[in-house]
Structure 1
């Protein structure tokens, strides 16, 4: 793609947005809204959706179909499903694809950011055209990058949600994110990946408390720690263990079967009046994750019932 193709006007993106809206209206917006409201209601008012990486074993159309079959209407996409491309034709095609399955794109990522303004604007331009609320991000830790992000979140009205990638990453601990967002624009904040914080021996509950209004994304996943090999063997026998992380003495597992306090996380998000997507992210069983995802969604519904 040429630089000329990358640099398009905001007017072009608004026009592309109108194309997508028209396609949705043609399909019967009232029916879509009614079904979406029902989906939101069963998750306690939260916009519960998928980080589409959970369905990376499928192409975009089949991933969207499975999303709808699971009763969900919200996506945080990764690049293999919704490629970042600012050409109006591409934007219109992606909007039409999503609208055809009654799925709304709320966020995308995780995207790397540095001081390259041209590339950063491509991501923000795409986000603006697609109507997203936040971009899940992994920014370089320097003033040039964060000065640029301060400027762009103000200009576009799109939040940057810094994603914690777990042990060994630049954003391993809660404090790693706190340090870089301190004194920055209010729209520069965090995407709380609950599973990766558990891997880092951090509390996702504490993360939500400490970030507060700077929480712009949530990846719900669960991890189970163990102290001894006997503990690990016992957990494997339950049938709830998935991928084992031996060096960390942990397992990825089904939501609600690990160390994550799902109820408390949701309660805190409700107190914050959190309105962005809550993305279930299930990374196991890439080729056939649907039954496990359904179990995870049931765990969310059960947690919601405990909120009162």
Structure 2
């Protein structure tokens, strides 16, 4: 009986891996990377989070500052970590077959820290820094983006965050580096009373990444639900992104059912991949 159970589990894993590989090829044709913001698993270490990504059928990860690394690596994720610690994290990612694409939300408070952050991103081969920069830092950020050829995606927290509206993000990037754009947090837009499709249309061509959410209701109290079962019009979001020829990262940021979100994120990924197959 145990041998049969193990055999069925192995077969199930093989089917999941095959299905994931097929889906990722389809996503790659669109220039889309489906991954997760490690903050979805902030009750766990980064090492555990990477294993959970595997269970969800996801390859790409957006790390955030402050998560305990785990896996016999001391300390937390931090753009100030030394070269030895950075290499340990890179080795961890390689061993888990996960690709680090983005880091944030992180907003340095000095010129020196911004420089340090870009150096960290360069060393870690991070493509996107997710941030909510202070207004007085925008010119410096623009200069560093051009110097390092690394994108900064401005993230929208709900009201009263300065960047809650696409209008404020557009004002911040207007006339600055083409490496400056938006990290579109769909759920936070809905919490602020905005329509995700209209918000994406305002940012046409300047969306670098998304924090994907679907909410159970249109209110500040709306909590995450499986994608496609809530009020955020996920199918419409995907259609709009394809229309815009978006190429970039989708980070699942599931901020509900913290200790057992893997089944819901897995179902979310399954649903969105079914939608993508019909685009």
What is the deviation of 1:132? 1.2
What is the deviation of 1:209? 1.7
Query: Do structure 1's residue 268 and structure 2's residue 252 form an aligned pair?
Result: no
Q: State the Cα deviation string for residues 158-211 of structure 1 (Å, max 9, x = none).
A: 111010001221111121211111111111111000000011111221222221
Structure 2 residue aligned with 1:256: 228
Q: 1:215 to 1:292 in 2, by over 3 A?
A: same
Of residues 92-101 and 267-276 in structure 1, the stretch that sits farther from structure 2 once superposed is 267-276
**Stretches of structure 1 lacking an aligned partner (at least 5 in a row):** 1-33, 227-244
Structure 1 residue aligned with 2:57: 71
Q: Conserved in 1, the CA contact under 8 Å of 2:40 and 2:255?
A: yes
Q: Distance in 2 between matches of 1:57 and 1:98?
A: 19
Structure-to-structure mapping, 1:71-220, within 5 angstroms: 71-79=57-65, 80=67, 81=69, 82-114=77-109, 116-142=110-136, 145-220=137-212
**RMSD over aligned Cα atoms:** 2.1
Task: Give the 4+ runs in structure 1 shifted more than 6 A.
Answer: none
Structure-to-structure mapping, 1:4-43, within 5 angstroms: 38-41=22-25, 43=27
Q: Distance in 2 between matches of 1:39 and 1:208?
A: 24
What is the deviation of 1:219? 0.6
TM-score computed with the length of structure 2 as normaliser: 0.83
What is the deviation of 1:249? 6.0
Q: Distance in 2 between matches of 1:252 and 1:95?
A: 30
TM-score computed with the length of structure 1 as normaliser: 0.76
Structure 1 residue aligned with 2:5: none
Q: Distance in 2 between matches of 1:268 and 1:158?
A: 25
Of residues 36-45 and 278-287 in structure 1, the stretch that sits farther from structure 2 once superposed is 36-45
Q: Conserved in 1, the CA contact under 8 Å of 2:55 and 2:266?
A: no
Of residues 262-271 and 288-297 in structure 1, the stretch that sits farther from structure 2 once superposed is 262-271
User: Secondary structure of the equivalent of 1:252?
Assistant: coil
Q: Distance in 1 between matches of 2:108 and 2:159?
A: 20
